[in-house]
Homo-oligomer: A and B are copies of this chain.
Amino acid sequence: MSNKSQSKPKKTALRFLREANFPKWYQDVINQADMAENSGVRGCMVIKPWGYGIWENLKARLDQRIKETGHENCYFPMFIPLELIEKEAAHVDGFAKEMAIVTHHRLVSKDGKLVPAGELESPLVIRPTSETMVGESFAKWIQSYRDLPVKINQWANVVRWEMRPRMFLRTSEFLWQEGHTAHATAAEARIETQTMLEEYRALAEDWLAIPVIPGEKSASERFPGAVETHTIEAMMQDGKALQAGTSHYLGQNFSRAADIKFQDADGGESFAETTSWGVSTRMIGAIIMTHGDDDGLRVPPTVAPRQVVILPIARDEDAAARVLPAVDELAARLNDTVAFGNRVRAIVDKRDINAGEKRWSWIKKGVPLIVELGPRDLDQDTVMVTERTDIYGKSSHSVDAFVSGIAAQLQDIQNTLYEQAKTYLDARIRTDITDREGFDAFFKKDKYATAGFIRAYWDESAESEESLKPLGVSVRCLPYDQPTEPGTCVLTGNPATKQAIFAKAY
Contacts and interface: CB of A to CB of B under 8 A. Distances in A.
A427 interface: no
B1 A77 contact: no
Q: Which of A40, A77, A96, A175 has the most CB of B within 10 A?
A: A77
A208 B44 CA distance: 36
A464 B69 CA distance: 59
Contacts of A66: none
A101 B105 contact: yes
Interface in A116-165: 116, 118, 123-126, 133, 136-137, 140-141, 143, 146-147, 150, 152, 156-157, 159, 161
Interface in A442-486: none
Contacts of A175: 75
A116 B123 contact: yes
A100 B102 CA distance: 7
- Classify chain A's interface size: 35 or more
Contact of A56 (B53, B73, B84, B108): B73
A136 B39 contact: yes
A118 B43 CA distance: 15
- What copy number does this chain have within its complex? 2
Interface in A72-128: 72-82, 84-86, 92, 96-109, 114, 116, 118, 123-126
Given A46-B77, A53-B73, A141-B1, A40 B96 contact: no
Given A47-B75, A49-B74, A41 B103 contact: no
Contacts of A2: 146-147
Q: Which of A40, A123, A152 has the most CB of B within 10 A?
A: A40
A326 B74 CA distance: 31
Interface of A: 1-2, 4, 37, 39-41, 44-49, 52-53, 55-56, 72-82, 84-86, 92, 96-109, 114, 116, 118, 123-126, 133, 136-137, 140-141, 143, 146-147, 150, 152, 156-157, 159, 161, 172-173, 175, 352
